[in-house]
Structures are given as C-alpha cells and as structure tokens.
Structure 1
Amino acid sequence: MFFTLLVITFFIALAVSYGVVRLFDRPIASILHRIVADDLSGAWHRYIKFAAYVVGISSGVRIHQLERYISAPQKDEEILILTSERWTLEVYRTIIETLQGIAWMLLVVFVVTLVAYVFARGFELKHVRASQERSGDMPVNRPQ
C-alpha cells in the first residue's frame, strides 16, 4: 500500500506541476525575452520549467511524511495505517504542497526578473538620453 501511495503522490505532483508550468509558460517566456538576450532566453526558459518540475515534485512528494506509513515515528508509537481518509488527506496535501512549492519558486523568479527589468530599463533610458544629447535632439539642462 505504501508503494502505491508513493507512486500516486508522484504522479499527482507531476500532473499539478505540468499544469502550472503550462499556465505560466507564455508569461515566463515573454518576461525572459524582454530581459535576457534572445539566444539566452530560451535556455533560461527551459531551466525555469525544469526547476518548476523539480520543486513541484519534491514539494508534493514528502518522503519524510510518507515514512510514517512504514516505520513508527517513536519507539512507543505504532505505524500509521493507510485508510481511505488518510489517502484523501495525502492526495490533498500533495496538491497543496506542490502548488505552494512552485508558487514560492515563481515568486522568487519574478522578483529577481522584476529587479533585472528595472535595471535594464534604467540603463536603456540612460543610453537613450545620452545618445539624444550627443545628437543634439534633446536640450541639455545647464545652470545659467
């Protein structure tokens, strides 16, 4: 029964991860395309998708929690029995933990890309302003 639970939680975490990766595929690709050079954005996009799968599956399949079904946590305690209620609870935990793990990972990715976007935009504006000053298109504010 334990092996069945392990396999089921793995496939549930994989399916939830797949759904989240599909849901955020285009936004991540467009953000990376804007911030990172074209030849690197594809590689970063694949890496973020891979990381989402790894984080989702490792968050959803909680090995330490599943060990309660094959060994007692303490010497005086009994091994937990897999009932239908516990199956339901484990499936629910798998879904929630998978979503939570991917959500934290994507939050970190989006915060880092937001900071990178702000820096990139600042450098672009500085470069445009400097080129306009050199070409004489924009008047330079000088004290009188």
Structure 2
Amino acid sequence: MFFTLLFVTFALSVTVSFMVVYIFRNPLADIFGRIIQDTISAAWQKYIIFATYVVGISGGVRIYDLERYITARHKDTQILELTLERWTIEIYRTIIETLQCIAWMYLVVFIFALIAYVIVRGFELKNANKTSKKDEA
C-alpha cells in the first residue's frame, strides 16, 4: 500500500508540474525574450522549466512525511494505517504542496525578472535620450 501511495504522489506531482509548465511556458518565453534578447533566453527558459519539475516533484512527494506509514516515529507510537481518509488527505496535500513550491519558485524568478526588466528599461531610456539629443544637434 505504501508503494502505491508513493507512486500516486509522484505521478500526481509530475502531472501538476506539467500543467503549470504548460500554462507558464509562453509567459516565461516572453519575459526572458524581453530581458535577455539573445538566443540564450531559450536556455534560461529550459532551465526554469527543469527547475519547475524538480521543485514541484520534490515538494509534492514528501518522503519524510510518507515515512510515517512504514516506521513509527517513537517507540511508544504505532505505524499509521493508510485509510481512505488518509489517502484523500495525502492526495490533496500532494497537489497543494506541489503548487505551493512551484509558486514560491516562480515568485523568486519573477521578482528577479522584474528587477532585470527595470534595469534593462532604464538603459533603453537612457540610450533613447542620448540618441534623441544627437538627432537634435
């Protein structure tokens, strides 16, 4: 029963991560294309997609939490039994933890992307002012 739970949480984490990657693929491409403006932006996008899968799966499949179904935490406690209610909670927790970990990762990525965008935009405005002053002269 434990191995089935482990497989189900893994498969669910992969599926949720795939859906998030599918939803955010175009926005990531647009953001990196705007900030980097080079072919390396595709490599950064692939890295973020890879990181999304790693973070999503590792967040969704919580090995230390699942261990309580095969070993007791203390000498005085019993091993938890996998009932229908616990299955439901574990599936719900897997979905939520996967989304939560990916959301935190994307938040960090988008904060740095916003900072990079402001810097790039500042340089563009500075260069546009220099160009317009040369044209006036």
Per the normalisation by structure 1, the TM-score is: 0.93
Amino acid at match of 1:124: E
In the alignment, the residues of structure 2 paired with residue 38 and residue 25 of structure 1 have an alpha-carbon distance, to the nearest angstrom, of 17
Q: What letter is aligned with 1:88? A: T
Write out per-residue CA displacement over residues 82-135 of structure 1, whole angstroms, 9 at most, x where no aligned residue. Answer: 011101110000000000000001111111100000000000000111122123
Residue 58 of structure 2 corresponds to 58
Per the TM alignment, residue 81 of structure 1 is displaced from its structure 2 partner at its CA by 0.6
- Paired residues, what number? 137
**Residue matched to 2:47:** 47
Q: SS state of the match for residue 31, structure 1? A: helix
In 2: Cα distance, 1:74 partner to 1:128 partner: 68
Residue in 2 aligned with 1:16?
16
What SS is found at the alignment partner of 1:38?
coil
Distance between the aligned counterparts of 2:37 and 2:118, measured in 1? Answer: 16
Q: Deviations over 1:3-60 (max 9, x none)?
A: 1110110000000000011011101110110001321110000000000000000000
Letter of the 1:80 counterpart? L
Q: Work out the CA distance in 1 between the residues paired with 2:40 and 2:136.
A: 35
Task: Give structure 1 stretches of 5+ with no counterpart.
Answer: 138-144
Distance of 2:123 and 2:74 partners within structure 1? 59
Identity of aligned residues (%): 58
Moved segments of 4+, more than 4 Å: none
2:127 pairs with 1:127: yes
Q: Residue 61 of structure 1 aligns to which amino acid in structure 2?
A: V
Q: RMSD in angstroms over aligned alpha carbons?
A: 0.9
- Cα deviation for residue 75 of structure 1 reads 1.3
Matches within 5 A, 1:1-144: 1-136=1-136
Structure with greater helix share of residues? 2
Q: Which runs of 5+ in 2 are unaligned?
A: none
In the superposition, the TM-score normalised over structure 2's length comes to 0.97
**CA–CA separation in structure 1 for the residues paired with 2:70 and 2:105:** 31
CA distance in 1, matches of 2:97, 2:110: 20
Bigger Rg, structure 1 or 2: 1
